Amino acid sequence: MPRRGIAVAVIVIVACFIVLGLTSDFLVDWAWFSAIGYLDVFGTILGGKAVLFFAVFAGSAIFLWVNGSLASRFARRRGHVHPVDFERESEGVQTLPELLELMRQRLPWRLLIAGVAGVLGILLAAGEVSNWDVFLRFVYQVPYGLSDPQYGKDIGFYLFSLPAYVVLKNWMLLTLLLGFLVAAAVYWVHGDIEFNEQRRSISPRAIAHGSALLGLFFAVKAWSYDLDRFLLLYGDNGVVVGASYTDIHIALPVLWLLVGLAVIAALASWANLWVRTYKLPVAGAVLVFGSSLVLALVFPSLFQLVFVKPNELQLEKPYIQRNIDLTQQAYNLHQISVKPFPVEQSLTFQSLQANQATIDNIRLWDWQPLMDTYGQLQEIRTYYKFHDVDVDRYHLDGAYQGVTLSARELKPSLLPPNAQTWVNQHVLFTHGNGAVMSPLARKTAEGLPIFYLQDIPPVATGGPPIDEPRIYFGEETDTYVIVKGSTPEFDYPKGTDNVYATYAGAGGVAVGGIARRALFAWYFKDPNLLLTSYITGDSRIMFRRTIQDRVRTIAPFLRLDRDPYLVISEGRLFWMQDAYTTSRYFPYAQTLSGSELNYIRNAVKVVIDAYNGTVTFYVADSSDPMAATYQRIFPGLFKPLAAMPQDLQKHIRYPEDLFFIQAQVYRTYHMNSAEVFYNREDLWQFPRQPTGGDEATMAPYYIIVRLPGEPQAEFLQMLPMVPSQRQNMIAWLAARSDPPDYGKLIVYEFPKDKLVYGPFQIEARINQNTEISQQLSLWNQMGSRVIRGNLLVIPIENSILYVSPLYLRAETGQLPELKRVIV
């Protein structure tokens, strides 16, 4: 081949690599979204980012270019500087004035200004792209249907409009600041601005230009002060969350005054285009920022200390009430039904018989001992892994039963080190297999769980049959795999042999062509994808296989519950993922501790097929304005909840994270009276219970129980509450999961004049029981370790039953056995 041909080939190859490097992420995303059926969602997100990027880039670059060009045009020549002797240039520039003169004479200012404007515009646009959803929500917003108590604006203004205005305001102020710096640099190089030992001066043209920019700055600042009126509704002075008495009576009038002063300063700055003295804009800046310092910071603090503090409850009472009402609204606590629970210590045999479904479903297995047991008995091989234990309910053999369920996933990283080859990790070991299921309330004679589902392939003994047990998408599947290759995949071990299978589904992205192989080889930085002979024309590559990664990629605007759970339906395995719409802009609402959110709704339920990886989004809360807004933004993404298959609907449950967040906020915001709230008279907290040699906060738990006054047992989530700094129980909170009452929250309050033992007190009584203590000591001395299970508080009629399981595990073993249940 001639040298010229070789050079052309090299150039073409290099160009291809450059194009791949610039476009690989886009092309892979396009292929993935297209394969999963959400190309329109990808287009909407990409379009939103592109429109915002180019809008910010164009606005920033044009403003900075015009601003810099005007500065270059108006700048004077350095008449007081001697021209540079270019014959001496090789000797080096001797002084700063000479350097500046050289720059002025030699630099291509038009191109330089355009280049600086372009680069700064790109940087500003890149920084704003992450706000694409803020502006899409602004454009497609729907009203909330409730007005704030201060300004009478619909809450939708705060959720959708205000965040966009804040982002826009910040961009405008930053762009003006950069414009000022660009203009100042141009004027400085040209000698219009001088600050040195011999001379300090600013030319009239530079003053005029700076005054014009300063006028724009003060105009935007006036708008900023106007927006600050609404931001008062997110304040927190330790007593009131939201606008307090001082905010309304002092800070708000001050903000109006600052708006007026900023407008005056803007007009004065623009008037200085003709006067051209530095004194006028300096006076305007001192007026605005000096007033802001004194009136917005010092004066309100002094007023709060001198006038409000001595009369705090009287003055803050209406604003505390606003905080209570809107926090309850933001976290959906206003819909909690409060009922009395007249505790009676008269639990009879007849009561137990009347609540047989509750007794039959008392949870005996904690997740950690059960995980250890599952691992020892049912992982089968080292490369299988149970990630989590889920709690659900099924109708089995005509009975409504609570069960534990865990998926048997495959982790190639658990293969022996010498077996962790590329072929094994990406071609052969591609999927997990089946699941295990056990009843919550039963055990074998040896203290081990009874299996409704077990083994590989899964065998159903009283549990729902699984026709398609293969798990290609789960909680542990974090590597890409090739399916439909030239060799079958490992399916499961059988005796001394292995069983192999070929994927027959539609999951994954086509990877058969050479162009696709090159693309994915570049994307994964793995040349084996280009070199391997295992890929055929029908092959598909599966990636983003962890279910939360899949959901986040499609809907990055949703917050996901930490505990997706497995569901067996119609012989197939599905993952159910709860998703939330959240905001930090709900007025007067308490911000969640350790987080920025102050509004949350479980607006979306997501179902993921464990075999094909298909992802379906269902709107679970049609009353949520944020969900309605996202439905307008992504019209093809969401389906109504009624469209979910009926069998899957039976396994919808109230999500764990939401219940915990609501319970966390309700500890304080169950107090509806402003006076009681101010005094913190009835503050609640989560119970504590011993865990080994330490203490831990009691977590919510799922249980099947018949609520007082209800005809039958139901699946719900509950959590007891105790008074602050006390251990006796004062109430318990329940979230219902079964239709038609799904989503309803109930709090049962105990009489305040009765002592009801809390979990910690019951644990103390157990420890003080001589017979139990002796038995525990004996077990611990026999080469075994006693594991105390979580104490369960179970309401039956108007009584409380306390249940605590005890597990025994050998010191050198990992197979806990259920030995006793303390009731």
pLDDT digits (tens, 9 = 90+) for 95-132: 555 555 555 555 677 788 888 899 999 999 999 999 99
Segment 489-511, tens digit of pLDDT? 999 998 888 999 999 999 999 99
User: Considering only CA atoms, which of 158, 191, 337 is closest in space to residue 749?
Assistant: 337
**Band of pLDDT at residue 84, cut at 50, 70 and 90:** very low
Residue 66: CB atoms within 10 A of its CB come to: 13
Residue listed under structure tokens 């409504």: 400
Place of tokens 């503050």: 683
Q: Are 654 and 737 in contact (CB under 8 A)?
A: yes
Give the pLDDT confidence score for residue 83 in this predicted structure.
43
Q: Is the pLDDT of residue 244 over 80?
A: yes
Say if 90 falls within a structural domain: yes
With contact defined as beta carbons under 8 Å apart, do 194 and 259 qualify?
A: no
Give CA–CA dist 558/578, Å, rounded. Answer: 10
Give domain status of residue 7, yes or no: no
Closest CA to 759 of 823, 688, 700, 686: 688
Please state, in angstroms and rounded to a whole number, the distance separating the CA atoms of residues 138 and 128. 15
Q: Are strands 638-640 and 615-619 parallel, antiparallel or unpaired?
A: parallel
Domain termination site, one of 403, 435, 466: 466
In which element (H, E) is residue 731 found? strand 731-736
Mean pLDDT of 216-238: 95
For residue 502, give the amino acid letter: T
Give the pLDDT mean for 336-348.
86
572 DSSP 8-state letter: E
- Rounded-to-integer distance, Cα 461 and Cα 397, Å: 11
How many other CB atoms are there within 10 angstroms of residue 181's CB atom? 12
d(CA 601, CA 343): 33
Residues 186, 52 share a domain = yes
Structure tokens belonging to residue 195 = 């600050």
Alpha-carbon gap, residue 438 to 537, rounded angstroms: 43
Tokens (6 digits) for 25: 């992420």
- Three-class secondary structure assignment of 16-43: HHHHHHHHHHHHHHHHHHHHHCCHHHHH
Average pLDDT over residues 255-264: 95
User: φ, ψ for residue 441 (rounded to 5)?
Assistant: -115, 15
77 in any annotated domain? yes
Tokens of 231: 């931001």
pTM of the model: 0.91
Neighbours of 818 (CB within 10 A): 24
Distances (CA, A) of 550 to 353, 434, 632, 644: 47, 21, 22, 19
Q: Taking a C-beta distance cutoff of 8 angstroms, is the pair 331, 595 a contact? A: no
Which of these, 286, 288, 280, lies nearest to 260 by C-alpha position?
288
Task: For residue 32, give both structure tokens.
Answer: 């993935």
| Backbone φ and ψ of 414, nearest 5° | -90, 0
pLDDT in tens, 422-444: 999 999 999 999 999 999 989 89
H or E segment to which residue 611 belongs? none
For residue 266, tell me if it sits in a domain: yes
Kindly state whether residues 681 and 589 are assigned to the same domain.
no
351 plus 412 within the same structural domain: no
pLDDT at 256: 96
Same domain as 590, residue 452: no
- Residue 199 confidence (pLDDT): 67
CA–CA distance, 315 with 48 (Å, rounded to integer): 46
Amino acid present at 754: K
**pLDDT score of 82:** 42
355 and 377 part of one domain: no
Within a domain: residue 265?
A: yes
Q: Coil, strand, or helix at residue 135?
A: helix
Contact 436, 385 (CB under 8 A): no
What are the backbone angles phi and psi of residue 681, rounded to the nearest 5°?
Answer: -70, -30
Structural domain for 577, as ranges:
547-652
pLDDT band at residue 275 using 50, 70 and 90 as cut-offs: confident
pLDDT at 85: 44
For residue range 149-166, list pLDDT tens digits in order: 999 999 999 999 999 999
Residues 354-371, buried b or exposed e (16+ Cβ, 10 A)?
Answer: ebebbbbbbbbbbbebbb
For residues 419 and 439, state if they share a domain.
yes
What is the maximum alpha-carbon separation in the chain?
A: 112
Mean pLDDT, to the nearest integer, of 751-779? 82
Instruction: Assess whether 61 and 114 both reside in one domain.
Output: yes
Q: Which helix (H) or strand (E) holds 446?
A: none
Q: What angle do CA 635, 637, 640 make, to 5 degrees?
A: 90
Query: Is residue 323 domain-resident?
Result: no
Asked whether residue 792 is assigned to any structural domain, the reply reads yes
533-585 per-position pLDDT tens digit: 999 999 999 999 999 999 999 999 999 999 999 999 999 999 999 999 999 99
The per-residue pLDDT for range 21-73, each reduced to its tens digit, is 668 899 999 999 999 999 999 999 999 999 999 999 999 999 999 998 888 88
Domains: count for the chain = 4
Structure tokens at 316: 């803050």
Same domain flag for 621 and 692: no
Worst-scoring range by mean pLDDT, 168-177, 196-205, 359-368, 650-659?
A: 196-205
Mean pLDDT of 601-617: 97
pLDDT for the residue numbered 3: 65
Examine residue 200 and state whether it is found in any structural domain, yes or no.
yes
Residues 728 and 720: beta-carbon distance below 8 Å: no
Same domain, 341 and 379: no
Closest to 758 (Cα-Cα) out of 790, 723, 796: 723
Amino acid identity for residue 420 in this structure:
Q
Per-residue pLDDT band for 88 (boundaries 50, 70, 90) equals: very low
Q: What are the tokens at 818?
A: 């259920």
Q: Which residue has the tokens 């203490």?
A: 695
Same domain, 343 and 372: no
For residue 197, pLDDT over 90 is answered with no
Same domain, 726 and 643: no
Q: Same domain for 787 and 682?
A: yes
Residues contacting residue 133 through CB under 8 Å, at least 6 positions apart? 48, 556, 557
